Amino acid sequence: MAKVVRGCGDGGLIESLPQSLVLEILGRLDLESLCSVAPVCKALRFSVSQALSTISTIDLSEFSPTVQILNRVLANNRMLRSLTLDCARLDDSSIEVFAKEHLQELVLLKCFMFSSYIFTAISRKCPNLRLLSLEMIRPCELDSPDDCNNSIAEMLKGCLCLESLCIKFHVQYDGPSDLEFIQLILPKTIRVLLLQPISDWQAKLLVLKAGADRDSTASLAGPGSSFLRPNCNGLQSLSLVLNKIKDELLIAVASSLPQLVELCLEDKPLEEPSLHNDLTNRGLQSLGSCRNLTSLSLTRSRQNFPATFRRVNDVGILLLSEGCRRLESVRLGGFSRVTDAGYVSFLYSCKNLKRFEVVNPFFLSDLTFHNLADATNSLVEVRLLSCNLVTSETVESLSLCRNLEVLDLSGCKSTADVGLISISKLCKLTTLDLGGADITDSGLAALGRGSCPIASLCLRGCKRITDRGLTQLLHQDGIIRRTLSTLDLGYLPGLSDKGISIIAEVCREITNLSIRSCFFVTDASITVLGSMEGFEGKRRPLRKLDLYSCSGLSNASFWLLAPPFFRGLRWLGVGNTRLLAKSKDRFVELSRDRPGLTICANGCEMGCKDGWQCHEFI
């Protein structure tokens, strides 16, 4: 006979149900729902504790748990194999809670208060790890680079099963005094490697060493084994963020890692590289010999200095695309001398190309996509960021790609309403970014009549859009009103409380909303958003709300953000508002009362994906 759930509280019916049935029901709930029902009675609390102990995969990346919450979730779990954590509120003392011997995958995000001890602890407590991903602040703020290097080395010696390693330190590269990744001895099992930051000479030596290890492993395995399993030895995916990308590194990659499948290189130079110490066509030509590459990303960031790849032109890109015909994903940024002839070569040479992204190009125009019907028709994701020469003609051409799911045209200011008419025909499009486009309410009306199942829509900075356009977008027969879950309406001078009311009434799936710098949004909008769950029909609660620089909000709107309103909110941006200036102590109390809510006062984008390392959370 099945065991019956017993408890000392007022469980009522719950206590009379067989334990197996209760556990079966609880097993169908997500983690948040489990934690919500636990306080109902002691019987459910006991059953939830048992249900939590059998979960094998836990993702806590959407909010920042305290060590107390984390302990309640993980305390009795012996089945956990994969764990993802937002560590913004955790420090070294929490390692004892989440570092478990049976873990195979561990992802630690926003390690704001950890020291390098975390690497040592992982080596001792998680010997069976196969995947480790960790992002931290600058190590020398908590301990010296030497201590950090030694701790990472110890971790690699203890985790001999590692197949994927990602270590990100959010710092500006300053020179040889930073981390010496080249001293590390990587396990033979490593297939995926991401390091940030690393110097160009360290990166070159690391690649050469990885190639030597691959050759030695292949020789030990015998002459026939490499033929049977060509990708079984050495790195298959390499991602590096360094100070400078040069020919020497790409030549080393081509000669030492011929089996590489994914390559992602980003540099952040502090000054303009000299003409004789930079990436050239020669480096791209050598990379063309990596015939197995399916994913390639080469970008030069402007974060520290507005430099570009001045010595690369169409010839280098043509040689690269001709050699790497198996590419399925291409991302290029900072190529100031490459024209349409270079970019279009990828569309014609790589017949399986699914993802194509270009960032800040000088000479990419509509000509790149002019005869797209004759090129690849496999595109699923296209991102053209800050392409000043791209107009609605490109959008019309891309409408021929019937499998397109993601279209990002942020910063393409010449995109107009006629482009939205073409986009509305894409029946698989789920993500659309039109930030800064020259579109009007008429364009939104066309999009609203279309068949796009858009889940994420960005209209940031589209200054000709008004409340009327949102009404036409959402109050028609199109399906977007039923699929929209993430909406960015930042920097819209024509948005007011009326538009927010329409969103709250119609969009039942909306969970993420950004209305930053919308000056005509007032307390009335907060009232209607906080009361969304009271509208008729089933709807999802808001998870993330960005109110940064909404100057129309008053100090009184704080009480509209407190319980019982916004019960499902996980992230709130209130920087540069009057309600923060006069109610900061209240927000501290609110954060303490609602530990699942992250309150950002620094102007970060939703979720603090970038910039978290630069500030403290309320």
Per-residue pLDDT reduced to its tens digit, 184-211: 778 889 999 999 999 999 999 999 988 8
Q: What is the DSSP letter of 405?
A: -
Both tokens of 150, joined, read: 């030694």
pLDDT at 20 over 90: no
pLDDT band at 171 (very low <50, low <70, confident <90, very high): low
Between residues 469 and 13, the one the model is more confident about? 469
Is pLDDT of 413 > 60? Answer: yes
At residue 118, does pLDDT exceed 80?
A: yes
pLDDT in tens, 42-54: 777 777 787 788 8
Query: Which parts of 181-221 fold into alpha helices (H)?
Result: 200-221
Tokens read off for 564: 């019982």
How far apart are the C-alpha atoms of 181 and 187, rounded to whole Å? 14
Q: What distance in Å separates the CA atoms of residue 593 and residue 562, rounded to the nearest whole number?
A: 10
**For the ranges 2-6, 131-135, 274-278, 592-596, which has the lowest average pLDDT?**
2-6
Whole-angstrom Cα distance, residue 10 to residue 414? 64
| Dihedral sign, Cα of residue 40, residue 46, residue 51, residue 53 | positive
pLDDT, averaged across the chain = 87
Q: How far apart are CA 143 and CA 180, in angstroms?
A: 15
Q: Does 227 have pLDDT greater than 60?
A: no
What does DSSP say about strands 131-137 and 431-433: parallel, antiparallel, or unpaired? unpaired
Q: How confident is the model at residue 179 (pLDDT cuts 50, 70, 90)?
A: low
CA–CA gap between residue 103 and residue 95 (Å, rounded): 13
C-alpha dihedral over 557, 562, 563, 566, to 10 degrees?
Answer: 80
Q: What is the C-alpha R_g of the chain?
A: 26
How do the domains of the chain map onto residue ranges?
Answer: 17-54
pLDDT tens by residue, 324-353: 999 999 999 999 999 999 999 999 999 999
Q: Rounded to an integer, what distance in angstroms lies between the CA atom of residue 172 and that of residue 312? A: 25
pLDDT of amino acid 5: 45
pLDDT for residue 225 = 37
The alpha carbon of 250 is separated from its chain's Cα centroid by a whole number of angstroms, namely: 26
Compute the distance between CA of residue 365 and CA of residue 363 in angstroms, rounded to an integer: 6
Q: Above pLDDT 90, what percent of the chain? A: 60
In this structure, of 247-256, 370-379, 481-490, the range with the lowest mean pLDDT score is 370-379
**Model confidence at 39: pLDDT above 80:** no
